């Protein structure tokens, strides 16, 4: 069975997507995070986890 990222992403819950988006942003993969944000935005409002704003620089 071949791994298909699209299918894997569709099986994630909205809370798991939020966690993954935050991790991607933390390691500097902003474009990938934006792509997952689009997937998160497709969840029905009542099932959508909230993605908190990303802080400015932490240094």
Q: What is the pLDDT along the chain (59 residues), one digit of tens a residue?
A: 444 455 556 567 888 888 999 999 999 999 999 998 888 888 777 766 666 665 555 55
3-state secondary structure of 23: helix
Angle, CA of 14, 15 and 17, to the nearest 5°: 65
pTM: 0.63
User: 């791994």: which residue's tokens?
Assistant: 3
Structure tokens at 45: 């409002």
């Amino acid at each position: 069975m071949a791994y298909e990222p699209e299918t894997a992403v569709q099986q994630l819950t909205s809370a798991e997507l939020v966690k993954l988006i935050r991790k991607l942003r933390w390691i500097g993969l902003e474009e990938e995070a934006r792509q997952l944000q689009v997937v998160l935005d497709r969840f029905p409002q009542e099932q959508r986890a909230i993605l908190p704003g990303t802080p400015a620089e932490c240094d």
